[in-house]
Chain A
Amino acid sequence: MALLRLTRCVLCILSAAALGAFPLAAGDSNPDGIAWFEKRIRPVLVDKCYKCHSQQSDKVKGGLLLDTRAHLLKGGESGPALLAGEPDKSLLIKAIRYHDQDLQMPPKDRLTDQEIVDFETWVKMGAPDPRSDQEASAPPPIQPSNHWSFKAPAPQQPPNVKNAPWARTDVDRFILAKLQEKGLTPAKDADRRVLIRRATFDLTGLPPTPEETQSFVSDRSPMAFEHVVDRLLSSRAYGERWGRHWLDLVRYADTSGCNSDYPIPAAYKYRNYVIDSFNADKPYDEFLKEQLAGDLLPAGNDRERYEHIVATGYLAIARRFGSRASEFHLSIEDIIDNLGKTMLGLSVSCARCHDHKFDPIPNRDYYALYGIFNSTRYAFPGTEIYKHPKDFVPLTDAAQAEAYYKDTTELAALDDRIENLLEKKRSFERQDKVVAKADAKEGALAAERKDQVKVENYPTVAEVKAALEDAHSRQRALEAKVYPFERAYAVADSQPANAKIQKKGDPHALGEEVPRGFLQVLGGQQVQESMSSGRKELAEWIAEPHNPLTARVMVNRIWQNHFGKGIVASPNDFGARGKQPTHPELLDYLAQRFVEEGWSIKRMHRVIMLSHVYQIASDDHAENAAKDVNNDYLWKFSRRRLEAEEVRDTILAISGSLDRSQGGPHPFPPQNTWKYTQHTPFLETYDSLRRSVYLMQPRIHKNPFFEVWDGADPNAPTGERPVSTTPLQALFMMNNGFAHQQADQFAVRVGLVFPQTARRIDYAYRLAYGRPATREEIRLGEDYLARCERALHDTDTPADQRGRAALASYLRVVLSANEFLYID
């Protein structure tokens, strides 16, 4: 069964044909006929005939090509295949009808009756055929693109502006020039309380404490805000928030995504690597290189070497599919898709089945990258069929590592052996001494394994049983081994080899071999070193300063996570279908500065946050709104909702319950007890009081909290979190146990600090909203608490608990309010 529907990709190309990408063959202007061909004929030709009758066939049979109309009319050794309008006189039809003993095509797999009727109809129509003579040959070379993002950033001078004093920094000059050009006026400065709340959430995902707010409000030094930014950048919470942005992009998860969603206990090491890298302000180019090729980079000591290995968790964390090794090509697609979107802002995986329809990425380029990633060995978490993990990378010396590899390889092989022996045993039990032929369930598996494992001959069922017992005991012995070192969910090089083009994305229809290399539009460099996968070279091509996309894509992301929208509003797509930059000069300025200043992300935060435009209010302005309703040009600060992690972390922080320690491994059950299958998949969630970035993230069965609050999709690169406003979110705040417990904790916290109701209310406002309560708000709160306490008389709440319960009720409202959830 073809895992990939050929027809899909064919039809995909079709739309391109309809757009005029392929010249139509002369005389075939009949659109219905062409549609018929595309829908009913071409897929069958591709699927059933091209293997032996195409210019791209490994061996053309009978001298017959079916690639073009001309080929059909010319025919092969038996003469013309086609007489347009005359199905009964066309050899092609004769062959597929299977009436003639000597002429039956396709030889093994007769077409369905419907397909035969379709071909007859098509020939009757005159065999309309849009395929040109060139189509089957190699794609035309890529034209140098005129698209802005493929050109190197040009050096930018900040423009001269009127109202120069408003513009505090170069960034402001770019912004102000655009505002003036569009006839917009910037909003007034944000209130200091608003500003510190904004900055603290932006950099740490947590609210400022009342003390931090107070200290900033009373600090009259001109450096006051700069000091806040520097303090936030050096807090560990910074990496926990900005690392999370990166984890969104690399679709981080603690399970594999296979049919049974196998847990990956070691995945957390990569998560912590990302958080630590942001905190250490690791230069972005190094950060990329380590994730793509850390295992191949030089390292000064073991600690550094292990860190580099863990970094390649970026590749290991790729989405896994199904339960069988035969679906791994989809994981490589996922890697190429992720690398393209995350690092380059390009949808490279569109070129898997055909040349990219909008961007200059030919089909070949996809397979140039595919070769690199197919020359890589990935840690394998196990699936319901192959239960034992293997190829995790031991963080230890070479000798121990080798022993470990030997054991895990043997364990994995034992899975196969046991499966084979069981099959043998079953066939004995069926009184059938022949190894049973493949059936659809175990069959494909058996077929897959037959290549790897020799089926042994055992004359009696007793011997099979003995061999099985042997295998099981060996398995138990290996499972029981304890290793004195840790293993990383990471990658290593395997046997390097170029990949062949998978025609129309079908891994079984192989075409021309493509040398391992980089995208042509970005240089088209090829891997020179034949002994390595080429990941190291690829990492360098991506991270080199002259790559026109890498720095632009990243500074755009940093900008986006401060302002809510990127300069390019499609952060994962800088291609022809992406959005145009609103401030192209500013984007180039930032990208160049990023590279010049050593790819320092923290420096970029300072450049952006110390600008005036970051510090203006979110107030509305009717005249501005009339000209720029979406605030594309930043005449105000765009208000934003807290993200899922911020909602949970802030509630915990305010209630005083947040555990600020760094998260480690998750409490998965011991690996040798796993019995996960697609029938009984892994479904756990593990609660904790740590920051949300440390919660276990399953891939298939999403954590319900993140589902409700628009968390990142752990299956695809999330460049922007969607923001939905739903009744389920409201129900969460109204009725969820967590919301109620934390409101109670909040009440205890507030109640312990202050005995007076008014002070309690004020403190709650300072904690939750970053500002003191007004007199009116205090009165409203006091009135509410009194009424609520009275209402509690009718319940079984003990009299001495009513004050606490009323306060908790009040604080639920405080936490549910828009002022809590939105940042001005």
Chain B
Amino acid sequence: MSHFNCSCSRRGMVRSLVCGSILLPGILQQLLADAAIPEANPLAPKSPHFPAKAKRVIFLYMTGGVSHMDSFDPKPKLVADGGKPMDSKNPKSRSLLSPMWEFKPGGKCGTEVSELFPHIRECVDDICLVRSMNGDHNDHFQATLGVHTGSVTFKRPSLGSWVSYGLGTENQNLPSFVVLAPQLPYAGSQVWDADFLPGCHAGTRVLAGAEPIPNLNRRSPTPEIQKMELGLLDRFNRKHQQARPGEPALAARISAFETAFGMQQAMPGVLDMSKETDATLQLYGLERGSTKGFAWQCLVARRLAERGVRFIELIDVGSSDNWDAHGDMKTHEPLARNVDQPIAGLLKDLKSRGMLDDTLVVWTTEFGRTPFTDGPTGRSHHNKAYSSWLAGGGVKGGLVFGKTNDYGAEIVEDPVHVHDFHATILHLLGFNHEKLTFRHAGRDFRLTDVSGTVVKALLA
């Protein structure tokens, strides 16, 4: 891939360590050889089941349940019927709530998006919008787990972990699955857990600020002393290993320290935005020097994607003060403002760099919201119908798929269950979702459990 910085590759790092005299040359051959054997490194890049356009995923997750009828699923009849009872025969039933934001068509395709997301609306020609999503649970915790792992009950590996397990990763100095989540979502780190998959496939949470990954910052008194320590450690380990030649784990651990050092060196560069142009920052709506908000997350996502990270998940806000607008739909406004321009910026930036072709961007939430009121001007949870979208790597831009009824309460055409959504994402990455399995406790588990159909209509 032309846009990868070669000096960041593991091989490059090994070489640079040798030059920096941290490693003695004797071990070089072996480390380079290890990197080439997939068994020795579960994160080595692997081919999927069949050729596919998408090579990596940027997964944009909105916490709390975004109202579909206020964002991506226009319901003129609901606007007209606001205030009337939900069930016309039952005057005591809950009253309908008119969506507060006007919808307008965008792009050449004319897909309608509300004023909550005016910037994303500019990108609809690249977006494949699904208005018929549905999931298995109506509570945040379980639905959030469901969207990430396919299971609303028992904990399972996350989508990102499955992708890392299936494809490995291209930059051994960065985790294969990075999570940018300023606050913990519902169900916490279970959302990006590898569960029974090997631990190297778990998401690594990267935070803005002094220490983006736990234990990343050098704690030894000086860089020189740290290098001395690693050099001495290498001598200890090499001698130990030479006496025990048949043990790959010992060599793997020697490599792990190299990678750790590589990560320590590489990560600050990922987060260093000083070389980004003003134009790029403006595109995302990011103030220079700021590490706040979704704009920062989106720009970091692009930089991680450039460096070969396989799966990048962005979670906008945490398990409180989020899209869970029970009392007042107006609370959607600042949340939308936080993500709208950055997401559009990310799509445009990826496109202009030629990366949108092989990067799959996914936008989703755990469920939609009810057409009727909950609190005075809020809406409740609604897992029977909501909207999500895909863009980039192998998806049909400008498409609207699926349909809900006049109030957005029921799906009337082409339902897409979370399992179908997962099956489609895996397909776009080159996997038959029924064959990407892992034997655990006597059973071959997969992301889609025993369900899921690829939604062919979404494919370019």
Q: Chain A residues near B246 (CB, 8 Å)? A: 620, 622, 625
> In the complex, are the beta carbons of A818 and B250 less than 8 A apart?
yes
Task: Please determine whether A440 and B381 come into contact, CB atoms closer than 8 angstroms.
Answer: yes
B53 at the A interface (CB under 8 A)? no
Interface digits, B222-265 against A, CB 8 Å rule (1 contact, 0 not)? 10111011101101110011001111011011101101111110
B326 at the interface (CB under 8 A from A): yes
CB–CB A725/B188 < 8 A: no
CB-CB under 8 A from B253, the residues of chain A are 725, 730, 818, 821
**B441/A817 in contact, CB under 8 A:** no
**Stretch of B133-141, B293-301, B306-314, B339-347 on the interface side:** B133-141
Contact in complex: B383, A1 (CB < 8 Å): yes
Q: How far is the CB of A635 from chain B (nearest CB, A)?
A: 12
B233 touches which one: A319, A444, A578, A816 (CB < 8 A)? A816
Residues of A within 8 A of B235 (CB): 780
Candidates B240, B257, B259, B415; contact of A112 at CB < 8 Å: B415
Q: What 0/1 readout, one digit per residue, does chain A (695-733) give for beta carbons within 8 Å of chain B? A: 000001110100100100101100000111111111110
Q: In the bound complex, do residue A723 and residue B249 qualify as a contact, i.e. CB atoms below 8 Å apart?
A: yes
Instruction: Contact check, A715 vs B155: say whether CB atoms are below 8 A apart.
Output: yes
Residues of A close to B326: CB separation below 8 A: 441
Binds B, one of A44-52, A236-244, A518-526, A567-575: A567-575
Report which of A113, A731, A797 forms a contact with B260, defined as CB distance below 8 A: A731
List of B residues within 8 angstroms of A578 by Cβ: 442
* Of A1, A15, A577, A625, most B-chain CB atoms within 10 Å: A1
A722–B225 touching, CB < 8 Å = no
Which chain B residue has the least Cβ–Cβ distance from A620?
B246
Residues of B near A723 (CB, < 8 A) are 249
Question: For residue B142, which residues in chain A have a CB less than 8 angstroms away from its CB?
Answer: 259, 321-322
- Determine whether A735 belongs to the interface, using a CB cutoff of 8 Å to chain B: yes
Across the interface, A791 reaches (CB within 8 A) one of B228, B232, B264, namely B228
CB of B357 closer than 8 Å to a CB of A: no
Interchain CB contact under 8 A, A678 and B215:
no
Of A126-134, A653-661, A679-687, the one contacting chain B is A679-687
Q: Which of B202, B236, B261 gathers most chain A CB within 10 Å?
A: B236
Q: Are A725 and B215 in touch, CB under 8 angstroms?
A: no
Contact yes or no, A114 B139, CB < 8 A: no
Q: Tell me which residues across on chain A come within 8 A of B221, comparing CB atoms.
A: 791-792, 795, 797, 805, 809
Taking CB atoms and an 8 Å cut-off, the chain B residues in 9-60 that contact chain A are none
* B residues in contact with A788, CB < 8 Å: 225, 228
Chain B residues with CB under 8 A of A425: none
CB contact under 8 A between A570 and B319, given known A112-B412, A792-B225: no
| Interchain CB contact under 8 A, B214 and A704 | yes
Cross-interface CB contact of B94 among A14, A113, A437, cutoff 8 Å = A437
**Residues of B405-460 whose CB lies within 8 A of A:** 410-415, 441-443, 449-451, 453
Q: In the complex, are the beta carbons of A439 and B94 less than 8 A apart?
A: yes
Known: A322-B139, A819-B240. A715 touches B154 (CB 8 A): yes
In the complex, the answer to whether A818 meets B236 with C-beta atoms within 8 Å is yes
Stretch at the interface among A5-13, A448-456, A492-500: A5-13
Hey, which chain B residues are within 8 Å of A704, CB to CB? 214
How far is A259 from B453 in the complex, measured between Cα atoms in Å?
30
Contact of A114 among B225, B324, B370, B413 (CB under 8 A): B413
Cβ of A787 under 8 Å from chain B: yes
Q: Is the CB of B241 within 8 A of A784?
A: no
> Is A734 in contact with B441, judged by CB distance below 8 angstroms?
no
Name the A residues within 8 Å of B226 (CB-CB).
734
- A residues near B220, Cβ cutoff 8 Å: 734-735, 809, 812
Partner of A441, one of B202, B216, B240, B380: B380
Task: Report B-chain residues with C-beta under 8 Å of the C-beta of A679.
Answer: 140, 186, 319-320, 324
Instruction: Contact check, B380 vs A725: say whether CB atoms are below 8 A apart.
Output: no
Q: How far is the CA of A632 from the CA of B451 in the complex (A)?
A: 37
B165 CB → nearest A CB, Å = 13
Taking CB atoms, residues of chain B closer than 8 Å to A259 are: 139-142, 186-187
Interface centre among A14, A439, A728, by most B CB within 10 Å? A728
Taking a contact as CB atoms under 8 Å apart, the answer to whether A734 and B415 are in contact is no
Asked if B451 contacts A727 (CB within 8 A), the reply is no
B5 proximal to A (CB < 8 A): no
A113 touches B92 (CB 8 A): no
* Bound-state Cα–Cα, A158 to B233, Å: 47
> Which chain B residues numbered 259 to 309 have a C-beta less than 8 Å away from chain A?
259-264
**Other-chain contact of B141, A322, A713, A792, A817 (Cβ < 8 Å):** A322
Asked if B320 and A791 make an inter-chain contact with CB atoms under 8 angstroms apart, the answer reads no
* B381 with A441: CB separation less than 8 A: yes
Return B62 CB to nearest CB of chain A, in Å: 15
- A572 and B247 in contact, given A1-B138, A809-B225 (Cβ under 8 angstroms): no
A7 in contact with B451 given A440-B380, A701-B188 (CB within 8 Å): yes
Is B219 in the interface zone, CB < 8 Å from A? yes
A309-362 with Cβ < 8 A to chain B: 319, 321-323, 327, 330, 341, 347, 350, 358
Residue B153 contacts which of A39, A321, A814 (CB distance < 8 angstroms)? Answer: A321
Q: B141, B232, B259, B320: which contacts A727 (Cβ < 8 A)? A: B259
Q: A114-B413, A809-B220 are in contact. Are A725 and B252 (CB under 8 A)?
A: yes
Q: Tell me if B93 is interfacial: C-beta within 8 Å of chain A.
A: yes
Interchain CA distance A2-B138 in the complex, whole Å: 10
A 784-824 binary contact with B (CB < 8 Å = 1; else 0): 10011001101101000000010001101110111101101
Residues of B within 8 A of A (CB): 92-94, 136-142, 152-155, 184, 186-190, 193, 195, 198-200, 202, 204, 213-222, 224-226, 228-230, 232-233, 235-237, 240-241, 244-247, 249-250, 252-254, 256-257, 259-264, 319-320, 324, 326, 370, 372, 374, 380-384, 410-415, 441-443, 449-451, 453
Please give me the 9 A-B residue pairs with the lowest Cβ-Cβ distance, nearest first. Answer: A620-B246, A730-B260, A577-B442, A724-B199, A727-B260, A679-B320, A727-B259, A259-B141, A731-B215
A-B contact pairs, 12 of them (CB 8 A): A5-B136, A112-B411, A259-B186, A323-B139, A347-B442, A680-B320, A701-B189, A734-B230, A740-B219, A788-B225, A817-B237, A818-B254
